[in-house]
Structure 1
Amino acid sequence: MRIGILQTGQSPDALRAEMGDYPDMFARLLADRGFEFRAYHVEAMEFPKDVHDCDGWLITGSRHGAYEDHPFIRPLEDFVRRAYAEKVPMVGICFGHQIIAQALGGKVERFDKGWAVGPTDYDFGGETITMNAWHRDQVTKRPPMAEPVACNEFCENAALVYGDRAFTVQAHPEFADDFIDGLMRTRGKGLVPDEVMAAASARLGQPNSSTAIADRIADFFTQTRNS
């Protein structure tokens, strides 16, 4: 199964040589599950020609806000709507989670309660899942066809499913602890409150549920769908 990775941002220059860029992280996260990957740098206006060029699509995180006026935002929203209409499965992570919701009628805003950073616990249907977070924006209004499948007190719409057409997650299962530490060093200072970063640092190294989320993503892509 070929998964097209729609890259909407880049990892910091200081971290990229050692830890890779976002498509590299997703290839590692979903390794050994029978997928092949092709990346499209949509932030730089490199878009697939057709929603059927790949068997499924994965939209990455970004430092941009989904509600901001960047050249790639509207074409990406159009692509999301076409893929949804054509029943090509999509997975969205962080910004990807937000842009899918926005494109399909939801609302994304800068959350007035601040940042979620580092290891964060979520309730997935009664199961506690821990993933690394790095966001201030949130989906504050779900599209009518979206059902919440994960939440916590800080983030009501932490994961959404759109039938068998899309599965989206606010946190970052692809971010390893060392990458979160690097983000705090390279992007966090002056942006994220010191006390938030200190609390995140204290939890780095604890057990993480990235493999469990990778399994959920793989199961979503490979499930049997009605034509």
Structure 2
Amino acid sequence: MMTRPTLLFISQFAAAGTYDKAIWRRVQGEDDETIPFKAMLDSLGVGDALNVRAVRAHEGEPLPDDLDAIDAVVLGGSFASVGDGHPWQQAIAAFLKEWRATGKPLFGICGGHQIMATVLGGRVERAPTPHVGSLPVTRTEAGIRHPLFTGFDDASPFFFGNFDSVVEPPPGAVILATRPGLPAAAIDHGGGWLSVQFHPESTADRMATCLLVIDPAQASAYSFIPGCERMVLNFLRFAGLVDDTGADRAERA
């Protein structure tokens, strides 16, 4: 029997005590985003093909040190700003430096995108205008050709909900997509590291619930986006964790 590749999902959802857990009781998994993440993989038809490990770093769960046993990592978003300096943020940054040395793939989402950029020498600042809603991006020439955007075009919307943004990408980074006010909405950092400012893994109800916590007036900015989660599948294929069989199942779903 072949060993299933191991995917590590790191949740950095929010600092304890900064939100009301009761708000999340109506959504899948409540405030534990590792549950809907695994459900998303099942919906893509690849859940059984992967050994999924999940760490809630913001809850104080330790990040793994057996890096040889992990094949790829997905780093989720966060209510916290990358410069807040929480101990769990510092632990994630230290983990990323060790993971970079392995040469293995990483996909960062929203806050993950931002912390990756800072670890690699980029700069993140507070955005003058928050980016909220189901919004498209403009791919660069590199983005048009990139496997991360397979099946998407410049009309394809994604879920945005960020108040910080990468204003200066790390040295050597390749910009894959932009938006007005977002000069680096998607980045190929080289070495198998990709990151996006938006949330391809999420759903309209989870994003709206996030905004209820941050800015209730904008909680209605989200519309249903069919298929945006296929970008996660694109990453898994890029990382070599799944093959076209999984993609075919997702296309038929």
1:5 pairs with 9, 12, 37, which one?
9
Alignment check: 8 A CA contact 1:120 1:133 kept: yes
1:197 CA displacement: 4.8
1:17 CA displacement: 5.9
Distance in 2 (CA, whole Å) between partners of 1:18 and 1:117 is 19
Distance in 2 (CA, whole Å) between partners of 1:50 and 1:99 is 22
Count of equivalent residues: 214
1:130 counterpart letter in structure 2: P
Distance in 1 (CA, whole Å) between partners of 2:115 and 2:87 is 14
Alignment check: 8 A CA contact 2:27 2:205 kept: no
Unaligned runs of 5+ residues in structure 2 are 145-152, 243-253
1:85 counterpart letter in structure 2: A
CA RMSD of aligned residues (A): 2.3
Q: What is the 5 A alignment of 1:8-19?
A: 8-10=12-14, 13=21, 14-16=23-25, 18-19=27-28
Distance in 2 (CA, whole Å) between partners of 1:175 and 1:122 is 17
Distance in 2 (CA, whole Å) between partners of 1:110 and 1:179 is 23
2:134 pairs with 90, 114, 119, which one?
119
Secondary structure of the 1:48 match is coil
Unaligned runs of 5+ residues in structure 1 are none
Secondary structure of the 1:72 match is helix
C-alpha spacing 1:29/1:148, structure 2 compared with 1 (3 Å) = farther
TM-score by length of 2: 0.76
Which residue number in structure 2 is paired with residue 37 of structure 1? Answer: 52
Q: Which moved more, 1:178-187 or 1:140-149?
A: 178-187
Which residue number in structure 2 is paired with residue 140 of structure 1? Answer: 167
Distance in 2 (CA, whole Å) between partners of 1:12 and 1:159 is 31
Which residue number in structure 1 is paired with residue 148 of structure 2? Answer: none
Alignment check: 8 A CA contact 2:209 2:219 kept: no
1:67 pairs with 83, 87, 96, which one?
83
1:22 matched to 2:33? The reply is yes
